[in-house]
Structure 1
């Protein structure tokens, strides 16, 4: 049991960015984000013994965390721009940290206005997942993933413009 726990903790440490990105996509409030990270960690540990290694740990972790976030979001009843969004994230590295944080906050505020499935689509897109991988992760066809992602990018772009969040 000790080895299993150590193995899990090491994998969790290696991929902890997934927890924080997903929590920030789904929750605006810091306390809510912390609660979601805790819930995702609990669900990951609870289901880790069933992880068979048929996929990469990070892929399995995405699925568990996204499903947990969707459930958590519904339970709590809380409340893309096109391909340029990815370029904007790359450009953020060149901007001073205050401006970078400000722009990220605006982006996440815009993302907060998406529904849970749209948030998952954007998250997986920003993680560099292909349409096929997004479809597999969300249990939809590749074509459906492509259409939903394009609509979600358009919707996010509109939210960003309407709220003056443009970078």
Structure 2
């Protein structure tokens, strides 16, 4: 990957990639792997960008697709040993310095894969139309889904996540 491409076409959209990767990972190591894979896939598929949507929309789609694919592939792995589980929990506890942000991400992780994607886009202040375009649904469906997701997150956060 050329440094120029990374600097001009990926780095300005790093916050998008970071938020999506964080929402689908539980450790710093996984997060770094996901981020790197997203960047690689953006670079590999750059010639496929037809300009029918915004570059940021295309970045969202690739980021979501890569994270969902990696999440599914990782869920097929054998379970963790007790030592690995304790290590992962410790990493997760220290990942965010702001407790409310940490709780929000924990609540988001309790959502289904598609609901995570929708709420992350909503938190990025994307319009219903943009969210619908990225997720392949209608703007009306997106609005209904966001209302339900907000209720679910409120319930989770009021109960401090379970």
TM-score range, shorter chain: 0.7 to 0.9
List alignment gaps of at least 5 residues for structure 1.
79-98
Match of 2:93 in 1: none
Task: Give the TM-score taking structure 1 as reference length.
Answer: 0.77
Match of 2:22 in 1: 24
Instruction: Provide the aligned length of Structure 1 versus Structure 2.
Output: 143
Structural RMSD (CA): 2.2
**Contact 2:68/2:113 (8 A) holds in 1:** yes
Task: Give the TM-score taking structure 2 as reference length.
Answer: 0.79
2: CA distance between counterparts of 1:153 and 1:51? 33
1:6 Cα offset (Å): 2.0
1: CA distance between counterparts of 2:160 and 2:106? 10
1:56 Cα offset (Å): 2.2
**Contact 1:8/1:48 (8 A) holds in 2:** no
2: CA distance between counterparts of 1:37 and 1:131? 26
1:60 Cα offset (Å): 0.9
List alignment gaps of at least 5 residues for structure 2.
77-95
Which 4+ runs in 1 deviate beyond 3 A? none
Pick aligned residue for 2:138 from 138, 141, 145: 141
Match of 1:60 in 2: 58
